[in-house]
Structure 1
Amino acid sequence: MKGLYDLNRYARYVTVFQNWLKPAGASFDHLHKQLVAIDERGVQHEATLAKLRSNANLFNEVATNYASHKNLVIAENEHAMAFAGFGHRFPTVEIYSKSEQPDPWEQTPEEVRGMSDMIQAMHAATGTEVPCNEEWHYRPIDVDLAMPWRVMLKWRVSTLAGFEGATKIYLNTIEPVMLRDRVVDRLFALRNDRKVADSLKIAFEAPCRPNALRCARPLRG
């Protein structure tokens, strides 16, 4: 990701994603990873930045704090937190870096390992039979506001029925609480079999402290 920014001075955002199985957008059943440099930030980032300018603690309040309050936290370690997401078109596991450093390439090896362990555990708990997208979100390179590195693991288990285009109403067959329970049950079994990191604190073991995201506003050099 950092290499693409270094290669192309006109890049304003490098989108990182992967598709697993055909329903998730792969051309055939395989693991398809891509990094694409684009010359604009995109509509979603512009909308988020507008809200972030008026509330610097936005991501804590509407993400990790809310998830903790609603008992949607799946797992936590020293450097990352995962919870059952809400407001998505598909059932989604959200994984947030708790680092003070918003830029992934500036984080310490320990912080990156913490995120890696959490992402690996969420994929393992999801299982190989579930089509899914992994989407990376982070602070665009020309932004000086604090935005945490976060990864969305979207389960592509439902098909649009046809009325969504007119109503903008999307039906999820798995609600957040069901998603949490399903992943948590699988995580305990995986940890017992030593197939995920021992550092994972699952469900009720997680501290779930308010304002867990420590990202500050580092000055641009």
Structure 2
Amino acid sequence: MSEIRKHYFLDRHCIIATGRAKRPSAPKACNDDIPSSTCVFCSGHEEETPPATSVYKKGQVLKDTDGQRVTGWDVRCIPNLYPALSPDAPEAATSGFEVLRGYGFHEVIVEHPLHGSRLHLFSDEEILLLMQVYRDRVMHYQSQEGIKYVSLFKNWSKKAGASLDHTHSQLIALPLLPSEISVELQAIRHLAECPYCNIVKREKGSKRQIYENSYFIVIAPYCSGVPYELWILPQQHVHHLSVLTDEMLFSLGDCLRYAVSRLDATIPELAYNYMFFQTEGNPEYHFSARIQPVTSIAAGFEKNTGIYINSMPPEIAADHLMDRA
């Protein structure tokens, strides 16, 4: 049986094709052959990375210098050694087509000093600190001249794009607003009610709800593009990490940790990406975090149409993740 499902409010579709379903097997963890003794993100290897732009240590926010690295840290933020964008990018060459210079910033957030740490095993204090770091670093780069959007994301496992096994996130600050956000904003501005607030109302308590706490809800979205896709939505309308209190940040981290823990319990060492969607200057937008596990690759049909075939209906995925199957 197949269904063509429409996105909640955008002109996008996915195909739920249960006849193609095979429950995904567990992919291998990323870079298992790289021991922690050679990992540049591990505590004690600070000299092997560029100087940190921000170091969080026992309630303090510090910085490295060329001659001195901060040790004993909790979270460490460093420039990406191979940045997608750079504040020192040269002017773009004239080509006859529209082009911008590659101006921006690219930062790695090393989430924990220990090599074997996993986000779903973080303590309450560790998950709150990570959310605070996310807020701080996004706000820092959002305030830089010429920056219009800050992309915050995590790739877990080689299959999801991570080049190192040590748990980390990334941040890329852009001089433009991505089309993904622009399309959503245009749709939202034509609606009488925030569509994400409406999603929260409609999905709260539904068979696609995975988890909720005081401020956030976790759902398997009705129009899920990939198996076990999850969305984390604030239950009240907020548009950006900068407006979240520490209590709300903890609730966000709690939902993120719970969602990742359930994915790992269902398919151990499952590769995934999570991304934060937000806009600093558009309060009508509704903040969200979205997790997309990597269980298959986009093939010709998906690339030709933009329509993804998902063999795992979100209702069944929710059962698996909630141990209700």
Interval of TM-score (by shorter of Structure 1 and Structure 2): 0.7 to 0.9
Helix, strand or coil at the partner of 2:250: helix
SS of the residue corresponding to residue 89 of structure 1 reads: coil
Larger relative contact order, structure 1 or 2 (CA cutoff 8 Å, min sep 6): 1
Letter in 1 for 2:308: Y
Contact 1:131–1:156, Cα closer than 8 Å, also in 2: yes
The letter of the residue matching 2:293 is W
What amino acid maps onto 1:152 in structure 2?
Answer: R
Distance 2:246 2:291 in 1: 22
Residue matched to 2:243: 106
Residues 94-114 of structure 1, C-alpha deviations (whole Å, 9 max, x = no match): 001224443212221111111
Pick the aligned partner of 1:149 from 267, 287, 292.
287
Corresponding residue pairs, total: 182
1:156 is aligned with what amino acid?
V
| Counterpart residue identity of residue 45, structure 1 | I
Matched residue, 2:220: 84
Provide the C-alpha distance between the structure 1 equivalents of 2:237 and 2:230, rounded to a whole number of angstroms. Answer: 22
Considering only aligned residues, what root-mean-square deviation do their CA atoms show, in Å? 2.0
Equivalence map 1:41-80=2 (5 Å): 41-55=177-191, 56-61=193-198, 63-68=199-204, 71-80=207-216
Correspondence for 2:308 among 163, 167, 170: 170
Structure 1 residue 38 corresponds to structure 2 residue 178: no
- CA distance in structure 1 between the aligned counterparts of 2:175 and 2:299, rounded to whole angstroms: 34
Shift of 1:149: 1.9
The SS at the match of 1:52 is helix
| CA distance in 1 between partners of 2:220 and 2:238 (Å) | 24
- Equivalent residue of 2:309, what SS? coil
TM-score, length-scaled by structure 1 = 0.75
Whole-angstrom CA distance in 2 between matches of 1:148 and 1:167: 27
- Contact map agreement 1:51 1:58 (CA 8 A) in 2: no
Amino acid at match of 1:67: E
Q: Please name the residue that 1:136 is paired with.
A: 276
Q: Aligned partner of 2:323: which letter?
A: D
The match for 2:322 among 157, 163, 184 is 184
Q: 1:101 to 1:22 in 2, by over 3 A?
A: same
Per the TM alignment, residue 89 of structure 1 is displaced from its structure 2 partner at its CA by 2.9
Cα distance in structure 1, aligned partners of 2:214 and 2:154: 25
Q: Unaligned 5+ residue runs, structure 2?
A: 1-137
Q: In the alignment, is the contact (CA less than 8 A) between 1:97 and 1:150 conserved in 2? A: yes
Deviation (angstroms), 1:147: 2.1
Instruction: Name stretches of at least 5 consecutive residues in structure 1 with no aligned partner.
Output: 187-221
Report if aligned partners of 1:99, 1:107 keep a CA contact under 8 Å in 2: no
Give, in whole Å, the separation in 2 of the partners of 1:124 and 1:57.
30
Cα distance in structure 2, aligned partners of 1:148 and 1:12: 17
The alpha carbon displacement at 1:125 in A equals 0.7
TM-score of the pair, normalised by structure 2: 0.52
Distance 1:30 1:184, change over 3 A: same
* Residue 262 of structure 2: aligned partner: 125
Could you say which structure has the larger radius of gyration?
2
Q: Secondary structure at the match of 1:185?
A: coil
Q: Distance in 2 between matches of 1:58 and 1:31?
A: 33
User: How high is the sequence identity, in percent, across the aligned residues?
Assistant: 23
User: Which stretch shifts more, 175-184 or 95-104?
Assistant: 95-104
Q: Secondary structure at the match of 1:129?
A: coil
What is the distance in 2 between the residues matched to 1:25 and 1:94?
20
Greater share of helix: 1
**CA distance 1:117–1:2, change in 2 (3 Å):** same
1:129/1:54 CA distance change after superposition, 3 Å? same
Amino acid at match of 1:134: Y
